[in-house]
Structure 1
C-alpha cells in the first residue's frame, strides 16, 4: 500500500499492541460518577494520563522507533514536539539506547521540558526553537535532512498511528456493552486515526467524535475546505493540540472514521480542568481535557448512552493554574474587565466600592491608567461576580451614578493587551 493510500491494518495494530507492552500498561477504563450524574449517561474515562510518561504518546513513539534498523538508530533520531510526544520519544531512546535530538517550542511549559530530560537522560538533547510546534518541526526537519537522521513524526506516520490505535483495541476489550459515543482529542490526528480505524472495524455503530480546541481547529478546517490547509494563526494555550496543519495521512483517515468534529472553546476546557481536579482529583492538561469538555456540547445527545472519553494526558504545569482559572471565569461569565473613568469629585472611588458593587462582587484587578490622577483618571478594573446575570445590573449601577466606562471583555485586541 502506498503512503498516499495508507489506512491502518488491524493486524498491524495488534502487532503494535504486543510490542508496546514493553513500555506501557493497559490503562484502566473507569466509570466517572460525577460526569455520569451530571450528564445522566454512563461515562467512562480511558485513563491514558496514568501512563509512565503521563500520556498515550509513548505508544506511537516506541512502536515507530522500535521498527527502525540498527543502522538507522546508530545515526540518531530527531523529533519535534510540544511536549508529550517528546517524552515518549525520550523514554524510548533511553530504553533502546539510541541518541535523539528533540526540538520543542520555546513556549513549552517548563514542566514538560524537565520531564523530557528526565526520561531521556544522557540519550537525548533538548533544543528549544520557535513559538509553535510547526516552527520546531520545520527546524527539526531541516536539521535531520542535513544530517541524514530519521524523523519521528508525532502523528503523520503509519507506525505512530498504529501505536496510538492500540488504545482502541484495549477499550473494546475492557468494555463489554455496546459503546454509543467515543470522544477523541485531536491535535495532529494520530490518535483519532488509529483508534477511529479500530472502532470502525470492530464497533461500527459507535459514533466517533473528534474534538479540537477552538483556537486551533485545523482538522475541522481541512474537512470544510476538502484540503489539508494550514491555519493562519492559532491559540497556543492548548499546547498539546495547537497544530496549524494536521497530517496528510491522518486527515484522509479521519475523513473515513470520524462521524463529527466538535470545536471546544478554551474557556470551557479550563472549566473542565478545574472541575476534574476539584471533583475527582484528576490533573488533566488542556489537551487531555478536550474530550471531556466536549460532553457539554452534546449533553442532550449522550443522555442515557454509553460514552467513552480518552483522557489523553496529565502533563500540566502548576504555574498555569492562574491562567486556567482566569480563562474559566471569563468563559463562565463570572469575571469582567472595565475601563472606568471616575467622576471628578472627591470620594468617587469610595462611592464606586460602596454603591456600585454589590455585596457579592469582588475586585480582583485594579490599575490606574494615569498614576498621577488618582480618583480622577481612568482605571482598569477586574470584577468577579456571583452569577453571569449580575453583569447587566453592574453596568446599570455605573451608568446611574455617572461612572463612564468601557466594557473590555468583548474588545478582543484591547482586552488581551491590557489583561
Structure 2
C-alpha cells in the first residue's frame, strides 16, 4: 500500500496477493473480441466478460478477498452486509466457501428471485433479513448490528481489501492481451472496480486511458470530481441499480480523481437500447450496470476510431420482470414512443376517425386509457403511440391538431410522465 498525503492507493503487490487469494473461487473471465462493435466503431473492441462469473458479476472478487483476510477471531463473530444485488451474492458465496456465518440485509421490496439467489449461494451459512422500504433502511440496520455485536461490515466498495480484489480485473486484462490497450471503459457505482482497475493500469500500462462511466441519473463520481470533494447527491435515478449510489467511497474517490482519464454519464435510455442490442444481436444477457461501458462507446466514437478498446461487462443479474420497462425506456430514448392526452368528441365513430385518419400507416397504439365524461361534448384519453421512425412525430401532431384531437404532449412533463412508465 502506497501512501501519498495519507491517501490510500492499492499497490501492485497487494493486488497480486489478492489474485492468488481468489484464484480458486473467481473465474478468469474471457476477454472476447466483439466483431459487431468493432465494425460499428472502426476499432478493436474487446469485452471483459465479468457477467460469466459464478455469481454473474465481478463482486465475488472483492467480497472473497475481504472476508478471507479476517482474523480467526473476526471470522468467528461473523460478517454483515447490506445489498439488494450483486454484492449480496458475492458475500453469500464467500461465506459458504470460507464457512463463515453472514447476515445479509436487503430492502423488503427486493424481488423474490434476488433473495432466492442469495440464499442459494450462501446456503446454511447466511441469514437474509428483509428490512425497510429502501437500501438506506437495510444499510442502517446492518451497521447497527455490526456495532452492537462487534461484527465485521463487508462494504461493497469503500474497503481496501475489496478494492484490491476488484483490481484483479485489471490484472487479468493485461495478462490476456498481446497488444497495448488504448482505452478501458469501466462502469462506476461506488468506485471500487474503477479505483482498483485504474491503479493496476497506472503501474503496468500508464498510457492506457481509463474512462469511468456512470448513469446520467446518478452521477455521484462525476459531481464529486467536478467539486473536488466527495459529494453526496440528494436524489438519484435508481433504475441502473448496480451503479446508482448517492455517495462514492472516501477511499475510492481520490484514486478515481487522480487516475481516471475521464468520467462520463450515459442516459438510462441508451443503456436500455444497449441491453436489447446485446440480447437480440449477440445473445448476451446483461444487467443495466453491465451495459454501461458498451453504451458509452457512442459518446467516444471519434476518439476510439482505430484504437484497441476494452469494455468491462460487469454483470448479468437482470430481473426478467424488468424487460417491459427496459424496452419502454429504449423506445423513449430513440424518440419512438410518445404519450398524449387526446380529446375525443363524444360521438359515435370518433375513435375510428382517430385510428384511420390520424395515425400513420406504421403507428401503433400501445397504451389507451379513456374516461368518458357525462354532460360534456368531449372526453379525454391518455394514449401511448409507438412510431416506426422518429421523424413521423411532427406530422402526427399536425394531424391531431388539424382535426382537434390534440390535448397535450406528456413526454416532456416529468411530473405526469412518471406515472406512465
Relative to the length of structure 1, the TM-score reads 0.97
Cα distance between partner residues in 2 of 1:366 and 1:278? 28
Residue 198 of structure 2 corresponds to 196
In structure 1, C-alpha distance between the alignment counterparts of 2:336 and 2:404, rounded to whole Å: 24
CA distance in 2 between partners of 1:109 and 1:283 (Å): 18
User: What is the deviation of 1:49?
Assistant: 0.4
Equivalent-residue separation in structure 2 for 1:109 and 1:295 (angstroms) = 31
State how far apart, in whole Å, the 2-side matches of 1:208 and 1:82 are.
28
Q: Hey, what's the Cα distance between the residues in 2 that align with 1:114 and 1:38? A: 39
SS in 1 for 2:155: coil
Matched with 1:136 is 138
Q: Do the aligned partners of residues 375 and 217 (structure 1) sit closer, same or farther apart at CA in structure 2, a change above 3 Å counting?
A: farther
Partner of 1:217: 219
- Aligned position for 1:355: 357
Deviation of the 1:33 alpha carbon: 1.0
Q: Is the 8 A contact 2:397 2:406 kept in 1?
A: no
**Offset of 1:75 from its aligned partner?**
0.7
Q: 1:106 and 1:218 mapped to 2: Cα distance?
A: 25
Instruction: Name 2:251's counterpart in structure 1.
Output: 249
Cα pair 1:132 1:236 within 8 Å, conserved: no
Alpha-carbon distance between aligned partners in 1 of 2:31 and 2:86, rounded to the nearest angstrom: 21
User: 1-side partners of 2:375 and 2:20: how far apart?
Assistant: 70
* CA distance, structure 2, for counterparts of residue 87 and residue 4 of structure 1: 33
1:306-325 alignment runs, 5 A limit: 306-325=308-327
Q: 1:5 aligns to what?
A: 7
Q: 2:294 aligns with which of 282, 292, 295?
A: 292
Taking only aligned residues, the RMSD between alpha carbons, in angstroms, comes to 1.6
Aligned length: 419
Change (3 A) 1:110 1:257: farther
Alpha-carbon separation, structure 1, partners of 2:328 and 2:377: 27
Compared CA separation, residues 130 and 176, structure 1 to 2 (3 A): farther
**Would the alpha carbon gap of residues 87 and 402 (structure 1) be closer, same or farther in structure 2, given more than 3 Å must change?**
same
Equivalent-residue separation in structure 1 for 2:375 and 2:32 (angstroms)? 58
Alpha-carbon separation, structure 1, partners of 2:399 and 2:129? 54
Deviation at 1:370, TM superposition (A): 4.2
The reply to whether residue 66 of structure 1 matches residue 68 of structure 2 is: yes
Cα distance change, pair 148–4 in 1 and its aligned pair in 2 (3 A): farther
- C-alpha distance in 1, partners of 2:35/2:276? 16
CA distance in 2, matches of 1:216, 1:69: 36
Partner of 1:397: 399
Secondary structure at 2:287 match in 1: coil
Write the distance in 1 (CA, Å) between the matches of 2:226 and 2:137.
Answer: 25
Q: Supply the distance in 2 between the matched residues of 1:137 and 1:251 (Cα, whole angstroms).
A: 20
**1:167-188 deviations in Å (ceiling 9; x for gaps):** 1010001011111110000110
User: C-alpha separation between the residues in 2 aligned to 1:375 and 1:147?
Assistant: 69
TM-score (ref. length: structure 2): 0.96
Query: Are the aligned partners of 2:50 and 2:57 in contact in 1 as well (CA < 8 Å)?
Result: yes
